[in-house]
Structure 1
Amino acid sequence: MTEEMASESASERELGSEHGAPAASDAIVLDDLGEQGLEEAIAKSLVEFDEGDIVSGLVVKVDKDEVLLDIGYKSEGVIPLRELSIRKDVSPADVVSVGDRIDALVLQKEDREGRLVLSKKRAQFEKAWKEIEAIKARDGVVRGEVIEVVKGGLIVDIGLRGFLPASHVDLRRVRDLAPFVGQDIEAKIIELDRGRNNVVLSRRAYLEENQRDQRERFLTSIRPGEVRKGVVSSIVHFGVFVDLGGMDGLVHVSELSWNHVDHPSSVVSVGDEVQVLVLEVDQEHERISLSLKATQRDPWQEFASAHKIGELVYGRVTKIVPFGCFVQVAPGIEGLVHISEMALHHVDLPEQVVSVGEELWVKIIDLDPGRRRISLSIRQALEGGELAPEYREAFAEYYDDEGNYIGPPQGEEGTGDGTGDDDSADA
């Protein structure tokens, strides 16, 4: 080819390019797929799925009654309001927002209007059901928000609608369920039926299990001999229950006070804060025995340290028995006056000498704090003796120079046998 011809050929190529004519290489690119090939390429770029499959997509529009989801299909999928959430009367805007990526189950690839119909609710249900089955298999716990009060119980959102019967809401029967709406709760699964889409929950079972674990930990931490603080939680005829912060312990009526107790309510009230001594911990039966009186000063020891045999004390007759009478000489301290020690003369019946409620002087003739026994004598008190320390100041004028109790001056009180007035009359 001459230089002139080559030059003309190059000029023609440049001119063609300036006027928009395609270059040979450009024509190959445009015509590479062809019309049929382009359709196949587009088809291959679309996701493949069947009805019942779960697909993932991006929320592109939120209307008042539906949501549009782009899942990479030839048309956007629509999620009707009824298929959006397990909750009733919710706005789509409260469930999803534009730009959210969510899962949805394919209900229909094409409905009557040619639309792809999806369900977020059912995709959530399928996913939740598998999780719940796994939790049930390992006897685990589910957590969810109480969303509704229905007849007989509550509905809990656990990814699907779980039913919580009223009898399983708490450890004790709950009359008003409304305050639970909006609360997040934990519960055990007690019934699971996929065929009926039925899930029954029990918060009570969860609380009992949790309480049982707490009791086990508490029982291993508490030891006999410890002094613990607690609150009186309930009162029964045989004692009181005290909440120790982990579980309740029982204070038997015999361990409430050093004094005689007619009924536990006379000693404590519900809500009282008390200090108790741990007497016994029964791990097997989960029982704790407590004592309230053991944390208080023992009146017997106090009395024994302040008194001695031979002292005179003042008391009140509390009970009459065939062999004598009992006399209370201090709070919680009663001693026996044997019938042989009731008078200077022979006594056939104690009622001939004393009556219940009568106050009189007695002498301590035996004192055994270990066995909690005091023997007293009315007969020996009549013979005089040393007064107990608590009476000496009040009756100082009744002592002689040697410190012996000699009683009031003659005539200040009767002889004690009711004969003084009669003698005067005879004289």
Structure 2
Amino acid sequence: MSQSGNEQVNTPETEAKALESEVKQAMGGMSIEDLMAQSLNTKSEESQGGDRKKLDPARPVRGGRPSARNRHSHYDDAHPNPDNVKKGKIVEIRNGQVLVDLGGKSQGICPLDQFDTVQEGEELKGVEVGQEYEFIYKGYDAREGLVNLARKGAVQHGAWETLSAGDTVEATVTGVTPGGLECRVGASRAFIPASQVDVRFHKDLSAFLNQRLTCIVSRVDRERRSISLSRRDVLAAEQEKAAEKIWGELSVGQVREGKVRSVQAYGAFVDLGGIDGLLHVSAMSHQRVSDPKKIVKEGDTIQVMVTNLDKDKKRVSLSLKQLQKDPWANVTNDYAIGQTVTGTVKRTVDFGAFVELAPGVEGLVHVSQIALKRINKPSDVVKEGDTVTAKVLGVDTEKKRISLSMSAVEREQKIASGEIKVEEAKPVSAAPATPAKPVSNKPKKPLKGGL
């Protein structure tokens, strides 16, 4: 459309030139990078009273904004995309944020609470200028011209939009369902499946209610606005690290503290702080153990001795009785041959009865030594729990065996009472005498001579 007279005709070209002229005049001849640096310095001076080292205006604080195609590529991976992980150096700490030099004229910012602090004396020391860390790209702040970063492996506290698979987060358990735990990560809802709550099965998950758990983000569904977490992966990584340390420390004969994890008929598994060792039932006590649950129970904290190591098969054998006084140490002094002793029948078998003389010390009364008369089986005369008196016939400390005779005591008692005479007091064997084989009159070889 044309206009008459001296009126200027507005075309797209003339409007663009006018706008460009207006922008240049407003910027006062400064570049966009200079304006960003000046803005960042001004904000920091206002918050810290101007007492700080200014950013170099000659060095733009660009974040190296990636293309739209790669911007969120790490959200769908189980681990951060290597292209989004970069090493950076701390150049400044202010207002709860850490300014990071990523190299290549790129700078980013990361929350200070993602860095660990260490107590040294009365001082609490943490991140310092000059230290280097690995960071994960989380986004780009166009207004500030900075890359938003997260320290690799650090607990994230941001909104769910900034979370991605592989991030470590702190979740608060708000509810328990048959399928797992309902949680909150900041203001966002999340869920931990029952199989991902722990490395061990928990029948009742209510113990986790209201607890704060460190987890790894396993999946982020932005369409459904849901977050899936795994605590199991965190614990497994911690256990693997602890196990490596313990395997380097273990040695045979070492005494360690452990927690009983489970009790079986053959023994108990003891957690030594990252690896499990087997406390076999035979290594629980010097006494015979019929039920391991009478010695230890799940959850007990006990002292055990390492008796065997197999690092190739990852097996550790433990013992409780090695830490106890050996009751057989003074057996030869306490039980002399010919001495009369009293004990309790612990069990009977076809060939005799085992009698406990002291805790951890048992002797065997053979079936032939139970009574003067012939008996068919030991249980016809004695039963478990009976108190009996016997004579010591022999002691073998190496094999830890003591031979006893009840019939010898019975014979002495009957001789003393006059029931039998000395010549009649020979003990009767419980086993029937083996009849002699008949002698054959048939010659083995043919006779020489004769008819």
Q: What TM-score comes out, normalization by structure 2 length? A: 0.50
Q: Residue 279 of structure 2: SS of its match in structure 1?
A: strand
Larger Rg: 1
Q: Residue 230 of structure 1: SS of its match in structure 2?
A: strand
Equivalent residue number for residue 364 of structure 2 = 336
Contact 1:162 1:201 (8 Å CA) reproduced: no
Deviation, 1:199, is 6.5
- The separation in 1 between residues aligned to 2:20 and 2:408, in whole angstroms, is 131
Q: Which of 360, 366, 372 in structure 1 is aligned with 2:394? A: 366
Equivalent residue number for residue 398 of structure 1 = none
- The separation in 2 between residues aligned to 1:334 and 1:299, in whole angstroms, is 10
Is 1:220 matched with 2:248?
yes
Q: Residue 299 of structure 1: SS of its match in structure 2?
A: coil
Structure whose residues are more often helix by fraction: 1
Summarize deviations over 1:240-272 as a string: whole Å, max 9, x none.
233434444321222111222221222234454
- The separation in 2 between residues aligned to 1:40 and 1:128, in whole angstroms, is 28
Contact 1:280 1:290 (8 Å CA) reproduced: yes
Letter in 2 for 1:316: T
Deviation, 1:209, is 0.8
Matches within 5 A, 1:298-337: 298-337=326-365
Q: Percent identity?
A: 31
- The separation in 1 between residues aligned to 2:416 and 2:252, in whole angstroms, is 59
Letter in 2 for 1:286: K
Q: Residue 328 of structure 2: SS of its match in structure 1?
A: helix
- The separation in 2 between residues aligned to 1:308 and 1:336, in whole angstroms, is 15
Matches within 5 A, 1:204-219: 204-219=232-247
Deviation, 1:408, is 11
Deviation, 1:302, is 3.3
Letter in 2 for 1:154: C
Is 1:355 matched with 2:378?
no
- The separation in 2 between residues aligned to 1:238 and 1:230, in whole angstroms, is 18
Contact 1:141 1:187 (8 Å CA) reproduced: no
Q: Which of 152, 156, 163 in structure 1 is aligned with 2:185? A: 156
Is 1:179 matched with 2:179?
no
Contact 2:337 2:395 (8 Å CA) reproduced: yes
Contact 1:363 1:377 (8 Å CA) reproduced: yes
Summarize deviations over 1:187-242 as a string: whole Å, max 9, x none.
44544789999865423201111111101211220111122233444433332233
- The separation in 2 between residues aligned to 1:124 and 1:161, in whole angstroms, is 22
CA gap of 1:343–1:145, structure 2 versus 1, over 3 A, is closer
CA gap of 1:154–1:335, structure 2 versus 1, over 3 A, is same
Q: Which of 42, 48, 59 in structure 1 is aligned with 2:25? A: 42
- The separation in 1 between residues aligned to 2:190 and 2:147, in whole angstroms, is 18
- The separation in 1 between residues aligned to 2:222 and 2:19, in whole angstroms, is 47
Summarize deviations over 1:77-103 as a string: whole Å, max 9, x none.
xxxxxxxxxxxxxxxxxxxx9xxx9x9
Contact 1:170 1:203 (8 Å CA) reproduced: yes
- The separation in 1 between residues aligned to 2:223 and 2:332, in whole angstroms, is 78
Q: Which of 320, 326, 329 in structure 2 is aligned with 1:292? A: 320
User: Which has the larger displacement, 202-211 or 228-237?
Assistant: 228-237
CA RMSD of aligned residues (A): 5.0
CA gap of 1:335–1:44, structure 2 versus 1, over 3 A, is same
CA gap of 1:273–1:304, structure 2 versus 1, over 3 A, is farther
Contact 1:145 1:156 (8 Å CA) reproduced: yes
Contact 2:259 2:272 (8 Å CA) reproduced: yes
Equivalent residue number for residue 244 of structure 1 = 272
Q: Which of 252, 259, 264 in structure 1 is aligned with 2:292? A: 264
- The separation in 2 between residues aligned to 1:364 and 1:248, in whole angstroms, is 43
Contact 2:168 2:217 (8 Å CA) reproduced: no
Which runs of 5 or more residues in structure 1 are unaligned? 1-34, 50-55, 60-96, 105-120, 385-406, 417-427
Summarize deviations over 1:118-175 as a string: whole Å, max 9, x none.
xxx9746995589779x9xxxx964444479599643535xx9695524334445544
Aligned length: 290
Contact 1:188 1:201 (8 Å CA) reproduced: yes
